[in-house]
Amino acid sequence: MEMTLRWFGSEFDTVTLQQIRQIPGVTGVITSLLNKPPGDVWTREEIQKLKTEVEASGLKISGIESVNIHDAIKVGSSDRDGYIDNYIETLENLGLEDIHLVCYNFMPVFDWTRTELARERADGSTVLAYNQEAVDALKPEEMFDSIAGDANGAILPGWEPERMAKIKDLFAMYKEVDEEKLFENLKYFLERIMPICNKYGIKMAIHPDDPAWSVFGLPRIIINKENILRMMKMVDDPHNGVTFCAGSYGTNLANDLPDMIRSLKGRVHFAHVRNLKFNSPGDFEESAHLSADGTFDMYEIMKALYETGFSGPIRPDHGRMIWGEVAMPGYGLYDRALGATYLNGLWEAIEKGAR
Ligand code: CS2
Ligand code: MN
């Protein structure tokens, strides 16, 4: 595996490439052109510029998170082919720039959903948290306002104000889309992009829906073992793979995370490894990465990755806000650096123990 950190680009991130470079064992970043609206082509020049900047710091681009999918593709509307053509062009430009991993998601309207961005814990750190009763009490259009105030001024990826302003239209677009339709539209998209992925060796890594169930009545499909195996089978190409995000699949306690990793052998192209602490099945918070601080056995998760021969990029996911840092919620430097170091330690022990 290759230890990485997510980096949003110098214009948007409070964390610098130089800081990331000093985290022991981190050799690459997972990045994006954050200001590109879904559906636009990423030009070679733009990608080159990003790459030059990252490489000048001594790091590499280990993958893109995310090239977002336009809603027309998810809904399957009549104009989807033009957007897929643009996506293919972006993939080609990434391939030509020697970038071979693309993370994306197929979540309708909302990307990840949390009800608090700064829940205070006993040690004074703050974390992102989710409470089902709080969601049930909100209308979708209130969701954005209810969390935006806690974002430390950052624009949250997936929650861009321009998109949220059109939230009612977005909901209307998805009215006729149920789970079956979403699967069909995903299949259509993947079948169209697989030739370019094969040509350039680009691994597509779908990110699970977070939380892993339907919110506000919207269909969600990338939520459990059954559905993800169905997806792997429906487009049975090694370039059609997954981002195994422990914190997202883990929102549903019925998901056995190490077992899911084992069942996806060879198709896990990217891993997000983080922990959650459940206070009840409908209430969880994003704890420190350490097993002892949360509900998951992080050793077993890393061991399943190791034993299935996982060799792709891995990154700590959302961290707590600690030591007075002000940053995009979940994406400060300090706790993610601790997470990377912890995950590296687990990996070293597993690797040496296996000899
Ligand atoms: C990420 C997702 O910050 C996060 O919660 O895990 O937003 C993720 O980047 C996207 O869903 C991937 O397309
Ligand atoms: Mn994730």
More confident residue, 144 or 188: 188
Residue 18, pLDDT above cutoff 80? yes
More confident residue, 159 or 315: 315
Query: What mean pLDDT do residues 26-45 have?
Result: 97
Which entry of 70, 103, 197, 207 is annotated as an active-site residue? 207
Residue 163, pLDDT above cutoff 90? no
Query: What mean pLDDT do residues 301-325 have?
Result: 98
CA of 214 from ligand 2 middle (Å) equals 17
CATH number at residue 62: 3.20.20.150
Tell me the residue range of the domain where 221 lies.
2-353
Query: What mean pLDDT do residues 117-133 have?
Result: 96
Residue 266, pLDDT above cutoff 90? yes
Residue 133, pLDDT above cutoff 90? yes
Q: In Å, how far from its chain's centre is CA 66?
A: 8
pLDDT given at position 211:
95
Residue 69, pLDDT above cutoff 90? yes
Reported confidence tier of residue 64, pLDDT bands at 50, 70, 90? very high
81 catalytic per annotation: no
CA distance 173 to 169: 6
pLDDT given at position 165:
80
Ligand 1 pocket list (CB less than 6 A): 65-66, 103-105, 111-112, 157-158, 207, 210, 245, 272, 317, 330
289 catalytic per annotation: no
- Residue with token string 């806690």: 150
pLDDT given at position 47:
98
The two three-digit tokens of residue 53, written as one number = 């900047």
**How many other C-beta atoms lie within 10 A of the C-beta of residue 117?**
22
- 121: Cβ–Cβ under 8 A, 6 or more apart, which residues? 127, 285, 287, 320
**How many other C-beta atoms lie within 10 A of the C-beta of residue 202?**
23
DSSP string, 336-348: HHHHHHHHHHHHH
Which entry of 245, 289, 335, 342 is annotated as an active-site residue? 245
Reported confidence tier of residue 142, pLDDT bands at 50, 70, 90? confident
* Helical H segments across the chain, by residue range: 17-21, 44-56, 71-75, 80-96, 132-136, 140-148, 161-165, 167-173, 179-200, 225-234, 246-249, 257-263, 298-307, 334-353
Report the number of distinct structural domains present in the chain: 1
Q: What is the mean pLDDT of the chain?
A: 95
Q: What are phi and psi for residue 344, nearest 5 degrees?
A: -60, -40
Residue 155, pLDDT above cutoff 80? no
CA distance 234 to 30: 28
Residue 285, pLDDT above cutoff 80? yes
CA distance 244 to 293: 21
Residue 153, pLDDT above cutoff 90? no
Weakest mean pLDDT among 2-11, 209-218, 265-274, 343-352:
209-218
Q: Give me the residues paired with residue 130 across strands.
A: 284
Cβ atoms of residues 77 and 108 within 8 Å: no
Residue 144, pLDDT above cutoff 80? no
Measured from the alpha carbon of residue 68, the closest ligand is 1
Reported confidence tier of residue 166, pLDDT bands at 50, 70, 90? confident
To which H or E segment does residue 242 belong?
strand 240-245
Query: What mean pLDDT do residues 177-186 have?
Result: 98
